[in-house]
Amino acid sequence: MERPAWAPRSIDISVPSVSRMYDYYLGGSHNFEVDREAARRAMEFMPGLPKIMQANRAFMRRAVRYAADQGIGQFLDIGSGIPTFGNVHEVAQAARPGARVVYVDHDPVAVAHSQAVLEGNDDADVVAADLRKPQEILRSPEVERLIDLNRPVALLLVAILHFVEDEDDPYGAVAELGEALAPGSMLVLTHASYEGVPLPPERAGGAVNVYQDIRNPLIMRSREEIARFFKGYDMVEPGLVAMPRWRPDTAPEDEDPYAFSGFAGVGRTA
């Protein structure tokens, strides 16, 4: 298998990666045949997967603009993935010049590509770390350089928590990150769920099984379970809703039915 110049030497290109599959769904070019193969298998069960990813990105951009408009100038994006058009730093720095952004991912391709994209941008950086180890993120030199934890931060956990199994204590990790943030900080989150998927659960379950097979289990949580991540936050209107319903720019009725899969919300600490 040919290893492209952008692929770090350390990675095993025979194993699919969820961030490279996501890149493929979004029409990116930083993925391998093994990722495309797994993504296509998942799409046999849920053909609307790319629509779900697009809805995630569109929500993320609206939420970043909202946070910037509310006076937040620091963004910590965990599980940031492979950069594509309209990243957090582009949206935040357009809305608020001088906004500071730190991306965090544990996929070496995502980290290497982020470094290339951010070259020359002194107000943005990337950390190779894992959501399950909050202290590694908070104590990283990149976070210490760019993020002042005594001032409000927008913490982005977009399409990442559904890859953290209950035994790895996702609630504990989100609470630990939240405790480190100043009052007035925001939590921006999306999460997969069977609720809202325009398919019977057993059919959608076929796509979930593909992720299980590549050892990246996709944990579908209920709206109630997802709402628990916002413990200690006041929900920003309209609360925890389908992605196209969160402060939309265009009529939600015009959206693809798949875009309503799962939930999105923004919370703010008092």
Domain boundaries, the chain: 18-268
Q: Residues 138-152: pLDDT tens digits?
A: 999 999 999 999 999
Task: Output the pLDDT for position 1.
Answer: 62
Percent of the chain with pLDDT over 70: 99
At 81, list the tokens.
Answer: 């993935």
pTM score, whole prediction: 0.95
d(CA 41, CA 200): 18
Task: Output the pLDDT for position 206.
Answer: 97
The CATH homologous superfamily of the domain defined by 18-268: Vaccinia Virus protein VP39 (3.40.50.150)
Task: Give residue for tokens 């989150």.
Answer: 189
| Residue spans of the chain under pLDDT 70 | 1-2
Task: Output the pLDDT for position 4.
Answer: 75
